[in-house]
Structure 1
Amino acid sequence: MIRQPGRYLKQNWATPAAVLTFLLLLWIGSLTLPRFIFPTVGEILSSVVTIVTTLYEPLFITLGRYVVALAAAVVAGWSIGLLMGAFRQYFGRYMRQVTAIIQAIPALSWVLLAVLWIENIELRIFFTTFLIAFPFFVIAVYEGIRDMDKDLLEAIDQFRPNRWQVLRILLVPQSFVTLIMTLRSTAAMTLKLLVFFELIGASNGVGQQFSKAQATYQVDMILGWTIILVIINFIILRIIDLAEKRILRWRTEAVVR
């Protein structure tokens, strides 16, 4: 089926409009600020090309760390959130307090402690990134189960299921809704924090490339790496959107007319 150009543009105009706005702001910045503070758009785009063609190794290192840490946080957070919802009287109450303590500890504290405690760089970055992302999935899945329709729970109770049957038949499918919604908002934050952790506690990766660019006052490279991360974030969100449409295709979207 061939899509009509006008219909496609009507549905997908927001992304190119946002990109053009961003490029316009870069152009205005290059006109109003000194060149050593704010390079031209051409210099910034040239830095992007340089990164993609010659500095792709640090990018792959960062993306590898990101995928591993985020996947572990999703699986662990989803599993514990499910168990909290199924056994909320004791395990749920206990883990809520544990999660609250983990969330209350500043990210910088985790980074500094990891630098002192963990010698291996990969384990250090995984440790800090996992601990920051993990609580968001735990709380989201748990709260999503708590907010389930009571009528649905009462209907399931008519069949006298045991706790594990309720978990498998009802809670697991329901948890996917809040899990994917949380992934949408947490994915970008996790990537930004991981780059920050690399800046402080790693010797390679995108974070260290930011550090080198700042030390040599290469503003064009800083903005170039920023654009690369923005593009990656768009790709990640697109992947999540596709996963949401496939996994949650039974949900209908409410549109305000």
Structure 2
Amino acid sequence: MSLTTGRHDGAGKSDGQRRPTDIEAPLVVKKVAKRRRGTPKWAVPVAIALTLALYWVVSLSFDAYIFPPLTDVLEQVWKILVGQPQNIAVTLLRYGAALFLAIIAGWALGLLMGAYRRIFGPLMGAFTSIIQAVPAISWILLAVLWMSSVEVRIGFITFMISVPFFIIAVYEGIRDMDKDVLEAVEQFRPSKFQTLRILLLPQSLVSLMTAMRSTAAMTLKIMVLAELLGANNGIGRSMGTAQANFQIDVVFAWTVILIAANFAVIKLIDLLERALLRWRTEAVVR
């Protein structure tokens, strides 16, 4: 009488369902539609509280003209919000317009570089490297000499410094595309426009949002620096005036406002990313 309860094939495996052991079970990567979780809600308030506490401790060890008391800084923040909202509005409008133009131009050029990477890609990549190698101070000084309009001057400076980051991010994102996916799409012999719309555009959008998140803060800093050296209004010019009058508490107050503006911009980008990249899934190892 046979001791086995089922037939075995040549490899010695049973017909029935065999439960794998922990050693035999492969690593499973599950695709889920749930978006990645953002920063925990408690992280930002705790970081702000620790920063304020650290500033308060440091202010106790230095004179007021070096580190003014925290109450003086917060008082100046309130005075600026009430008395100088126009300077904040001017800077944010300039920032939004220049960043929008840089995003659109960088996205378009990066897409074209990815779609026509044999000729246009290397050529535009070389131009982008040259533009990126020009120091920021050179763009600022040249804009002051070339342009009489303050708005055009500030927009030109911010655009020229920030657009290479978007071009490179989009182009590299397309280059990192899965080769198997590209070959599968090419089996249907799509036109260049169809490949651009169906495959390259969604892929580039992911890289574009990543570049926006990392470049937004840098662009705002460049904007303020450009206003400091080449404008007659805005946050940068106000900070320069406060520094010339030795109003260190006002300088700190403007810094607090810029930090708050940066947090607001990052939050807007996060909301935009959730709306535009809702289709993207996340790989979770279990």
Higher helix share: 1
Q: In structure 2, which of residues 37, 51, 56 is the aligned counterpart of residue 27 of structure 1?
A: 56
Match of 2:211 in 1: 182
**Counterpart-to-counterpart distance in 2, 1:161 and 1:252:** 25
Using the TM superposition, give the Cα deviation of residue 53 of structure 1 relative to its aligned residue in structure 2, in angstroms. 0.5
What residue in structure 2 maps to residue 103 of structure 1? 132
- Alpha-carbon distance in structure 1 between the residues aligned to 2:191 and 2:131: 32
Q: 1:139 aligns with which of 168, 185, 188?
A: 168
Unaligned runs of 5+ in 2: 1-38
Distance of 2:69 and 2:284 partners within structure 1? 41
The AA in structure 2 aligned to 1:67 is G
- Over residues 123-169 of structure 1, what are the superposed CA-to-partner deviations in whole Å (9 max), with x where a residue is unaligned? 00011100001000000000000000001001101100111110011
Where in structure 1 do 4 or more consecutive aligned residues deviate above 3 Å?
252-257
CA distance in 1, matches of 2:248, 2:285: 43
Aligned to 2:11: none
CA distance in 2, matches of 1:47, 1:254: 47
CA distance in 2, matches of 1:205, 1:44: 19
Per the alignment, residue 156 of structure 1 pairs with 185
1: CA distance, partners of 2:268 / 2:179: 33
Q: Please tell me the root mean square deviation across aligned C-alpha atoms, in Å.
A: 1.4
CA distance in 2, matches of 1:68, 1:239: 15
Within-5 A mapping of 1:1-257: 11-253=40-282
Q: Judging changes above 3 Å, is the alpha-carbon distance between structure 1 residues 85 and 106 closer, same or farther for their aligned structure 2 residues?
A: same
Give 2:194's aligned amino acid. Q
Q: CA deviation at 1:252?
A: 3.6
Q: 1:153 aligns to what SS in structure 2? A: helix
Cα distance in 2 between the residues matched to 1:196 and 1:254? 41
**Higher mean C-alpha displacement, 99-108 vs 159-168:** 159-168
Listed one character per residue, the Cα deviations across residues 175-200 of structure 1 (whole Å, up to 9, x for unaligned) are 11000000000001000110001101
Could you give the per-residue CA deviations for residues 15-69 of structure 1, whole angstroms, max 9, x where no partner exists?
0011011101210121010012111110000011011110111110000100000
| SS of equivalent residue, structure 1 residue 88 | coil
Rounded Cα–Cα distance in structure 1 between residues aligned with 2:79 and 2:137: 31
CA distance in 1, matches of 2:160, 2:149: 17
Query: Aligned equivalents of 1:212 and 1:230: distance in 2?
Result: 19
Deviation per CA, 1:190-221, whole angstroms, max 9, x where unpaired? 00110001101111110000111101111110
Moved more, 185-194 or 22-31: 22-31
Q: 2: CA distance between counterparts of 1:13 and 1:222?
A: 28
**In terms of mean alpha carbon deviation, does 242-251 or 77-86 score higher?**
242-251
Using the size of structure 1 for normalisation, the TM-score is 0.94
Structure 2 CA distance for aligned equivalents of residues 255 and 48 of structure 1: 44
The whole-number CA distance in structure 2 between the counterparts of 1:159 and 1:255 is 31
Amino acid paired to 1:236: V
Which gives a bigger RCO, structure 1 or 2 (Cα 8 Å, sep 6+)? 2
Tell me which amino acid in the other structure corresponds to 1:72: L
What is the CA–CA distance in structure 2 between the aligned matches of 1:20 and 1:252, rounded to whole Å?
35
1:250 positional shift:
2.6
SS across alignment from 1:148: coil
Mapped partners of 2:169, 2:144: distance in 1: 29
